[in-house]
Structure 1
Amino acid sequence: MLLYEHPLSSYAQKVKIALREKGVGFTAELPETFGTGRSDGAFAQANPRTEVPVLVDGGVSIFESTVILEYVEERWPDPPLLPPDPAARAVARMTEEVCDTQYEAVNWGFGEILWFHRATGALADHLRAQAAAQTKVLQDWLTGRLGDATWFGGDRLGWADAAVAPMVNRSVHYGLGPAAGSPLARWHARLRERPSVAETFREFDAAAARMAEAADLYTTGGRRREYRDHRLEWMVKSGGVEVVLAGLRDRTIRFAWPHGDAP
């Protein structure tokens, strides 16, 4: 079992949490061509989008984190991550959808400023403020979803917890975590004690500590950050369209397959 991943990828993290919760052994590998947009090699053969995560199970290659979660749930049904009730399953999937789209984009945009210095001065201050305000809205929404329960899945960690975990943890890393003592902060504290999550978060922390070294690659053209779907939308609607234009000019950003290279 091979998982192409990057420890900082929130999408890869939720898959690793799911696999570890189910006790499924796997080898994690950061593709050599990750971030280059190259279409050659085993990674691109497994996923033409050259995005992580990709799960390779024998002769089957699966990309797109939600599809991977569904495969994992069906391939190894015990312990289940989805509840038996159809309505509860829909709630878990909706929570994941918001995290995968809106929340991930906010975290990603903040990282563009923090790690890759895409903006400086007043623009950077503005984008950080936008990210902080939007993070608060999302965390309030998640707090409502959690309610008085121990886990988003009720009395046991489940699908939604695996999806929310990387998002809130990255906010904590950015200094934008939930208020101390709040239900969401208490959930995060419980979460970190879970072996499957603790190991995944340790890998995140180790990779985050090396981001200063990697940042040069992404600002000189050695690697190009992928501006796609909600990420691109976030940067534009939050006031960072000039960041996108500069990336196009300097060829330090790319778009999604099949036309990843900006013209």
Structure 2
Amino acid sequence: MLLYDHPLSSYAQKVKIALREKGVPFTAQLPDDFGTGRTDGPFATANPRTEVPVLIDGETRVFDSTVILEYLEDRFPEPALLTKDAAARALARMTEDVCDTQYEAVNWGYGEILWFRRATGALAGHLRDQAARQTRVLQDWLAERLGTAAWFGGDRFGWADAAVAPMVNRSVHYGMGPRPGSALALWHARLCRRPAIAATFAEFDAAAAEMTAASDLYTTGGRRREYRDHRLEWMVKSGGVEVVLAGLRDQNIRFSWPQGSAES
């Protein structure tokens, strides 16, 4: 089983956690043409969006992290990440959706400033403040969802935990982790003791340590960061519309497939 992956991708991390929790052997591979916008080659053939993760299982090709998790749950039902209870399943999926959209956008936007220096001075400070404020709102929402339980699904690690894990851990990396001693902070500490999580987070840490040095590749046009839907919304609503305009002018950002004329 092959997984097209980038260690910094929260979506790919979610899938790797699920694979490892289920004990499914796989090989992770960073596509050679990742971020280039190329529409040929096996990566683009498997996913026209040229986004990671993509799972290759024999002749089956699956993209989108949520669809991949659903595929894995069908293909490898034990150990189950979702319970049979309809309400609990809906709760897990709603938690995942918020993490995949709102939370991922905040983390991604902060990374644009920290790693890729898309803004400097007052604008950078403003965007960092926006990210910190919104992160606290999201963590408070997650803490309420967690309550006093050990895991988001109750007494067992499950689907929602796999989805939340990369998001909160990236906030911790950014210095915006949960309040010390809070239920969410204790959950993160408990999470990090699981072998599947520890292995995935170690890959993230190694890639993050190299990101600043590699950032020029993404700001000089060699590769282009994708300003997809919720990420674009975050940058605009948080006051960074000029970051988007500069990226279009300098041709070092891209939008989702199919591409528009401004990207060609």
Instruction: Name the TM-score, length of structure 1 as normaliser.
Output: 0.99
1:130 counterpart = 2:130: yes
The residue correspondences of 1:168-247 to structure 2 (distance < 5 A) are 168-247=168-247
The Cα shift of 1:136 comes to 0.1
The Cα shift of 1:121 comes to 0.1
Distance 1:93 1:87, change over 3 A: same
Which residue matches 2:21? 21
1:120 counterpart = 2:89: no
Distance 1:117 1:78, change over 3 A: same
The Cα shift of 1:262 comes to 2.7
Which residue matches 2:51? 51
CA deviation vs aligned residue, 1:139-185 (integer Å, no higher than 9, x gap) = 00000000000000111100000000000000000000001100000
Amino acid at match of 2:143: T
The residue correspondences of 1:242-261 to structure 2 (distance < 5 A) are 242-259=242-259
Q: Write the distance in 2 (CA, Å) between the matches of 1:240 and 1:63.
A: 30
Which residue matches 1:158? 158
1:11 counterpart = 2:2: no
Q: Write the distance in 1 (CA, Å) between the matches of 2:21 and 2:260.
A: 35
Amino acid at match of 1:3: L
1:103 counterpart = 2:103: yes
8 Å CA contact retained: 1:255, 1:261:
no
Amino acid at match of 2:172: V
Which blocks of at least 5 consecutive residues in structure 1 are unaligned? none
Q: Write the distance in 2 (CA, Å) between the matches of 1:262 and 1:74.
A: 40
The Cα shift of 1:260 comes to 5.7
Instruction: Name the TM-score, length of structure 2 as normaliser.
Output: 0.99
Amino acid at match of 2:151: W
Report sequence identity in percent. Answer: 79
Distance 1:11 1:260, change over 3 A: farther
CA deviation vs aligned residue, 1:47-105 (integer Å, no higher than 9, x gap) = 00000000000000000000000000010000000011000000000000000000000
Q: Write the distance in 2 (CA, Å) between the matches of 1:8 and 1:39.
A: 22
Amino acid at match of 1:26: F
Amino acid at match of 2:37: G
Which blocks of at least 5 consecutive residues in structure 2 are unaligned? none
Which residue matches 2:79? 79
Amino acid at match of 1:250: D
What SS does the corresponding residue of 2:179 show, helix, strand or coil?
Answer: coil
What SS does the corresponding residue of 1:223 show, helix, strand or coil?
Answer: coil
The Cα shift of 1:214 comes to 1.5
Following TM superposition, the consecutive aligned residue runs of length 4 or more in structure 1 with deviations greater than 3 angstroms are none
Amino acid at match of 1:127: L
Q: Write the distance in 2 (CA, Å) between the matches of 1:177 and 1:34.
A: 29
- Segment of structure 1 superposing worse, 252-261 or 234-243: 252-261
8 Å CA contact retained: 1:254, 1:261:
no
Amino acid at match of 1:249: R
Output the aligned Cα RMSD.
Answer: 0.7
Q: Write the distance in 1 (CA, Å) between the matches of 2:134 and 2:190.
A: 24
8 Å CA contact retained: 1:109, 1:231:
yes
What SS does the corresponding residue of 1:28 show, helix, strand or coil?
Answer: strand
What SS does the corresponding residue of 1:157 show, helix, strand or coil?
Answer: coil
Q: Aligned pair count?
A: 263
Amino acid at match of 1:256: S
The Cα shift of 1:261 comes to 6.3
Which residue matches 2:32? 32
Which residue matches 1:146? 146
